[in-house]
Structure 1
Amino acid sequence: MSPRLLLALTPLLLATVAQADDCTNAITQGEMNQCAAQQYKAADKELNDLYKQITTRLTDDPKAKQLLVKAQRAWIGFRDAECEFSASGVEGGSVYPLIYTDCMTAQTKARVEAFKTYLKCKEGDLSCPVPEA
């Protein structure tokens, strides 16, 4: 590609990249898939941060920590199976990544809320397995 043509196309390319980064204006399937992936990545990061906080609070209770690990592994298996099922109607289509990733995000956000509840436990709350900070 000639330098002049590249220079002439640069504004168009930058506009396309900017539009792809602006998820409220995502138009193409690829942009929507990319936005869904970004949303999932953010939810997964939040989940991992909360998981670390909980495991830190469980340092003095190895049995509870082991039960959390077991529960989290089971939850991951459920999440993955649920989202595979949820998106199975569009398997092989260009919308599949969007449907699957939206499911992963929704399941992850629900788990985030459960973890936030665990982190709000008050001393003496026998229904809560995570000690107060």
Structure 2
Amino acid sequence: MIIASLLLLSAASAEPAIDCDNAMAQFELNACAYKEFERADAAMNAQWKITSARMKEIDKDFDRTQDNRPGYFDTLLAAQRAWLTYRDKHCAGEGYTMRGGSAEPMMISGCQTQLTEARTKQLKDLIEEY
């Protein structure tokens, strides 16, 4: 049984990489769209670290004696969590244009990529304002 599992694992890892520049089959297009989303998400996560660190710095220097509202970081964190929910729900809705079809995952990933790239720019722009 262990040998059969190892053979399955080695067969799965031996699958050829998809050439996204020449993808034609829907499963390839879906995989490539998801790969683009993963790239955009990684870039956003990198920018998040920079932006959230800057908001924490601002919070350290902020005089709370006159203002007891949430800090810069706490507000940013709440907004980011809400934004992630929005992105995923909105893109699921966009995917419904191909609801139940083989292209639905591609539509969702494409939407997520577009919104994530826009959010990355927003996070970058935010620290430039401060």
Q: State whether structure 2 residue 13 is matched by structure 1 residue 17.
A: no
Does residue 59 of structure 2 align to residue 51 of structure 1?
A: no
Note if 1:119 corresponds to 2:116.
no
Secondary structure class of the residue paired with 2:128: coil
Distance 1:44 1:59 in 2: 22
Cα offset for 1:56?
Answer: 1.1
Please state how far the C-alpha of 1:24 moved relative to its aligned partner.
Answer: 1.2
**Unmatched tracts of structure 1, length 5 or more:** 1-13, 122-130
Distance (whole Å) between structure 1 residues aligned to residue 31 and residue 127 of structure 2 = 31
Higher relative contact order (CA 8 A, sep 6+): 2
- Partner of residue 68, structure 2: none
Aligned residues: 106
Q: What is aligned with 2:39?
A: 42
Structure 1 residues 69-110: Cα deviation after superposition (integer angstroms, max 9, x where no partner): 010011111111210111112121110110011001011011
3-state SS in 1 of match to 2:122: helix
Shift of 1:58: 1.8
Checking the alignment, whether the CA contact within 8 Å between 2:51 and 2:124 is kept in structure 1 is: no
1:108 pairs, out of 107, 113, 116, with 116
Q: Which runs of 4+ in 1 moved over 6 A?
A: none
Unaligned 5+ segments in structure 2 are 1-13, 61-70
CA distance, structure 1, for counterparts of residue 16 and residue 23 of structure 2: 11
Partner of 1:30: 27
**Alpha-carbon distance in structure 1 between the residues aligned to 2:95 and 2:79:** 24
1:38-60: CA deviation from partner (whole Å, max 9, x where unpaired): 10000000000100111111223
Equivalent position of 2:81 in the other structure: 73
When normalised by structure 1's length, the TM-score is 0.73
* Shift in Å, 1:113: 1.2
Amino acid at match of 1:117: D
CA contact (8 A) 2:20 2:28 kept: yes
- Which residue identity is paired with 2:97? G
